[in-house]
């Protein structure tokens, strides 16, 4: 069972709020319900935030647990009382959960994975890091912290996928659920997802070209240069044309997407070579080396009883606009391709593991549509009309399946709306389920 060791944790004061660090021991693998499979355990970390004036009554306050997007990214590390956390702390204590495998929880790292005997053992290990296991961790943590009391969830992006799994199997632990940019496609594999998202990425490329029409010549020149010349990054990795065109991954953000790439392209060349400035800053645009589970589990988060078989790569041929040798090469979006496991230093040793996961077909179900149609938990979801990462129409189909879900559909924000204007968005969602 879960063992809380929060008594040994450190209390910390920050501007406007205090927090307590919690550590929980949970099974690596679960069977039916919350029963463990085997004796191996991992650590799950959570940071509990509360207002200083609530110190004495902290334990009586309801909890809002936050599920971060990803997969493979840790919860926020707030430095001040602002954004959605400011709004949430008016009514809740907030639990920032580092999902299993990320942040201060037992990490999925290259160093740790290479300690396992072979790619099959690594694939079996990584199979335990999807939403179904994250939900079971969360339910055990809820019972450890507040017993039979319910808590409220806020899920951003992949965090909304987690929320939907939670509603499918452990709805009795939920008081309310808020979702931003994360109503999942209730599909059995990612094919439907990428058929919808590739056209969306084409639209984002068109918008980029409209905003910065002079960049198309620079992009074309860089692609041709990388096809004709070898360029090394500071890590010693090769910057290929395909890797460069992966920079469209960030096109779904209001800030840090188009603008960051545009200003970087202004200093792309130093003479007839790519500048060190460009190459060094380009490395920071994509985080596959530091967040490896984001790449290796990305398609697996959609799988229910079927294999992904490199879905994004298979479907790419249906969209010739993305060919590297196209007249105007387009940037790709949030898609994972096999070449990444040849070119990224921290992914290369995991190529066989990624292949095994891509071929795995006996994934357990993530969602129970019957349970979702019987849902009685109040759910409010913000759907971003132009979301590049989570297709709007598939999200609305999911909302229609989860009984009683109220949706806020808006084109005022992109996928990073919660980060940019979280106080306002969460306030609207909370008022929808009052």
Q: Which of 359, 392, 416 is the endpoint of a domain?
A: 359
**Per-residue pLDDT, 159:** 98
Q: Do residue 343 and residue 402 come from a single domain?
A: no
Q: Are residues 195 and 182 in the same domain?
A: no
Q: For the domain that residue 79 is a member of, what is the CATH number?
A: 3.40.50.1820
Residue 67 contacts residue 154 (beta carbons within 8 Å) = yes
pLDDT of residue 215: 97
Residues 384 and 348 in one domain: no
- pLDDT, averaged per 10 consecutive residues of the chain (434 residues), comes to 50 93 96 95 96 94 97 95 97 98 96 97 98 98 96 98 98 98 97 97 96 96 97 95 97 88 97 96 93 96 98 96 94 97 97 98 98 98 97 97 98 94 98 94
Same domain, 236 and 291: yes
Q: At what angle do helices 258-265 and 215-228 cross, to 10 degrees?
A: 70
Backbone angles phi, psi at 48, to 5 degrees: -95, 120
Count how many domains the chain has: 2
Q: Which tokens is 187 given?
A: 């599909």
| 126 and 50 share one domain | yes
- pLDDT at position 11 is 83
**168 and 216 inside one domain:** no
> 3 — phi, psi (to 5°)?
-120, 115
Helix (H) or strand (E) holding 227: helix 215-228
Same domain flag for 271 and 386: no
pLDDT at 1: 47
pLDDT for the residue numbered 257 = 87
Point out the domain boundary residue: 341, 359, 377.
359
What's the rounded Cα separation, in Å, for the pair 326 and 320?
A: 8
- Using the Cα atoms of residue 204, residue 302, residue 296 and residue 109 in order, give the sign of their dihedral: positive
Beta-bridged to residue 64, according to DSSP, are 94, 152
Residues 34 and 141 in one domain: yes
CA separation for the pair 63, 151 (Å, rounded): 5
- The C-alpha atoms of residue 168 and residue 162 are separated, in whole angstroms, by 10
Phi, psi of 84 (to 5 degrees): -65, -30
Domain boundary among 309, 342, 359: 359
| Same-domain pairing of 199 and 302 | yes
pLDDT at 7: 44
- Domain coverage including residue 247: 191-359
pTM: 0.96
* Tokens read off for 261: 């790439």
Domain check: are 329 and 272 in the same one? yes
Query: 121 and 40, same structural domain?
Result: yes
How far from 155 is each of 5, 6, 48, 75, 247, CA to CA, in Å? 25, 24, 16, 11, 25
Q: Which pLDDT score, from 0 to 100, does residue 9 have?
A: 63
- Pair (203, 179) in one structural domain: no
How many CB atoms within 10 Å of residue 234?
9
* Predicted local confidence at residue 231, as pLDDT: 97
């Amino acid at each position: 069972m879960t063992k809380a060791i929060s008594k040994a944790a450190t209390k910390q004061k920050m501007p406007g709020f205090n927090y307590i660090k919690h550590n929980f021991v949970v099974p690596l693998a679960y069977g039916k319900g919350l029963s463990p499979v085997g004796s191996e355990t991992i650590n799950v970390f959570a940071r509990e935030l509360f207002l200083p004036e609530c110190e004495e009554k902290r334990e009586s306050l309801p909890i809002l647990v936050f599920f971060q997007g990803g997969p493979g990214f840790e919860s926020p590390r707030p430095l001040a009382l602002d954004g959605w956390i400011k709004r949430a702390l008016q009514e809740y204590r907030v639990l920032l959960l580092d999902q299993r495998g990320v942040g201060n929880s037992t990490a999925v790292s290259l160093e740790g994975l290479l300690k396992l005997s072979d790619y099959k053992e690594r694939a079996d290990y990584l199979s335990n890091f999807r939403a179904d296991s994250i939900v079971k961790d969360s339910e055990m943590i809820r019972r450890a912290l507040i017993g039979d009391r319910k808590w409220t969830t806020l899920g951003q992006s992949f965090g909304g996928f987690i929320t939907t799994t939670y509603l499918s199997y452990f709805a009795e632990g939920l008081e309310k659920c808020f979702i931003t940019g994360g109503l999942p496609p209730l599909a059995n594999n990612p094919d439907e997802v990428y058929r919808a998202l590739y056209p969306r990425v084409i639209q984002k490329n068109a918008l980029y070209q409209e905003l910065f029409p002079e960049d198309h010549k620079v992009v074309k020149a860089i692609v041709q240069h990388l096809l004709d010349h070898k360029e090394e990054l500071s890590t010693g990795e090769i910057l290929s044309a395909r890797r460069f065109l992966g920079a469209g991954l960030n096109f779904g953000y209001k800030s840090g997407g188009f603008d960051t790439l545009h200003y970087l392209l202004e200093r792309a060349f130093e003479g007839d070579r790519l500048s060190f400035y460009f190459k060094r800053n380009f490395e920071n645009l994509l985080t596959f080396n530091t967040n490896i589970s984001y790449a290796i589990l990305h398609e697996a988060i959609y799988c229910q009883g079927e294999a992904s078989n490199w879905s994004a790569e298979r479907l790419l041929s249906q969209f010739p606009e993305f060919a590297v040798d196209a007249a105007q090469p387009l940037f790709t979006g949030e898609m994972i391709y096999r070449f990444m496991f040849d070119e990224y230093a921290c992914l290369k040793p995991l190529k066989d593991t990624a292949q095994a996961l891509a071929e795995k077909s006996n994934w357990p179900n993530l969602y129970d549509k019957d349970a979702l149609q019987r849902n009685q938990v109040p759910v409010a979801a913000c759907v971003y009309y132009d979301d590049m990462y989570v297709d709007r129409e598939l999200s609305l189909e999911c909302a229609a399946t989860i009984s009683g879900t109220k949706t806020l559909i808006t084109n005022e924000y992109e996928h990073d709306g919660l980060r940019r204007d979280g106080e306002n968005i969460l306030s609207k969602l909370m008022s929808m389920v009052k």
